[in-house]
Amino acid sequence: MRNAAGLCGLALMLLAVPAVAQKSYGPGVSDTEIKLGNTAPYSGPVSAASTVAKSVSAYFDKINAEGGVNGRKINFITVDDGYAPPKTVEATRRLVENDQVLALVGSVGTPPQLAVRKYLNDRKVPQLFVGSGSSLFHDAKSSPWSLGSSPSYEFEGRLDAKHFSLILPNAKVAVLYQNDDFGKEFLRGFKDALPQGLKIVAEQSYETSDPTVDSQIVTLKGSGADAFALFATQKFAAQAIRKAHDVDWKPKIILPGVIASIGAVLTPAGIENSIGVITATTSKDTNDPRLEHDPGVAAYIAWFKQYNTKVDIRDSQAAQGGYIDAQLMVAILRACGDELTRENVMRHAASLTNIKLPIFIDGIAVNTTPTDYSLFRQVQFQTFNGKSWDLVGSLVSD
């Protein structure tokens, strides 16, 4: 699918870099166009995550309507890969070799994006703001052309364990995890930080090809756990919360921040069943009526209603993923001026300094350096109250 797209002016948030006197263009760039690519699961078991790519496209549409980036409109080419790595490889090769995109932006999924990471790095094509918290997308040394958009899954998993220890210091913990790099990295971080007093009493995994996780939930309930680390993607997290309610299991549940959406997870799980669910975040709850007059939230809602009409406004992935990814990409492209090469794009991506977007929770900022690609060093925990999220405590870090 092809969507024309453009980007807007956040470049003042970056260090000012003088534009070169002579224009220098990489693949996909002309005096009137910047071509960007993306792959996402518009179909398949993780199709709910396509919200990220749809929102990137919608934000680019807004900026394109306002004149583009330094007079250049963005041609955003986004392709369905079904969350299947072989399809991702095929689609990514086509984007790079046939469509000649300048960079990949906001592509979704840990296993699919790991499948093309080496290909893109070998060809020095920026793989920016990947919809994944895999630590491999934070590794500037081994993957200098790849940069993730989420807090590291291992980092968040460690914080999840520490948070459980604060609210349930002697808890018996059950774990359900997706049997791939996504789930395993969360589990590894969680186990690494598991404090004395907290004990994992049961673990179950599932495959994305499984129809349900009902049997796993029945098994986990039998462990007698009173805390539940649910390291799953959207469809399976919703199933797990609903099934836990159906079998009268009422543990304290913690979800990955990247999938903790009211629209995509908590609503299909059952709003009443989801009260008390915990997650970590970096952005404001755009569904919270208490924030309707917050300038960042108001601007987000205005954009959403005009441009992002294909997405459920309750889906927080639109804000935490696509909206933020696109804003950061716009800032980078504007900072590049007329030197729109892959090398210069990556140079700016690796030198983001104290970027505080209006949608961020107070105190959250994005920073990268040429040796550290971790965008976020802090998160905020929050609990679902049946309508919106309540912040818990203060910002936390490792």
Ordered per-residue pLDDT tens for the chain, 398 residues = 444 333 333 444 444 444 445 899 999 999 999 999 999 999 998 898 999 999 999 999 999 999 999 999 999 999 999 999 999 999 999 999 999 999 999 999 999 999 999 999 999 999 999 998 888 999 999 999 999 998 999 999 999 999 999 999 999 999 999 999 999 999 999 999 998 889 999 999 999 999 999 999 999 999 999 999 999 999 999 999 999 999 999 999 999 998 899 988 999 999 999 999 999 999 999 989 999 999 999 999 999 999 999 999 888 888 888 999 999 999 999 999 999 999 999 999 999 999 999 999 999 999 999 999 999 999 999 999 999 999 999 999 98
| pLDDT attached to residue 7 | 36
Evaluated on CA atoms 60, 64, 67, 73, the torsion sign reads positive
| pLDDT attached to residue 317 | 84
**Packing angle, helices 234-246 and 214-221, rounded to 10:** 50
Go through the domains of the chain in sequence order and give each one's CATH number.
2-151+292-378 (3.40.50.2300), 153-281 (3.40.50.2300)
Q: Which H helix or E strand runs over 300?
A: helix 295-307
Distance from the Cα of residue 157 to its chain's centroid: 15
Q: List the structure tokens of 358.
A: 């209006």
Instruction: Please report how many Cα atoms fall inside a 13 Å half-sphere around the Cα of residue 104, on the Cβ side.
Output: 33
| pLDDT attached to residue 197 | 86
Say whether 141 sits in a helix, a strand or coil: coil
| pLDDT attached to residue 398 | 81
What is the rounded distance in angstroms from the CA atom of residue 181 to the CA atom of residue 250?
28
What is the rounded distance in angstroms from the CA atom of residue 323 to the CA atom of residue 100?
24
| pLDDT attached to residue 196 | 86
Q: What angle do CA 92, 95, 100 make, to 5 degrees?
A: 140
Q: Which H helix or E strand runs over 205?
A: strand 199-206
What is the rounded distance in angstroms from the CA atom of residue 382 to the CA atom of residue 138?
25
Q: Which residues of 373-390 are buried (b: 16+ CB within 10 A; e: fewer)?
A: bbbbebbbbbbbeeebbe
Evaluated on CA atoms 395, 172, 246, 167, the torsion sign reads negative
| pLDDT attached to residue 174 | 98
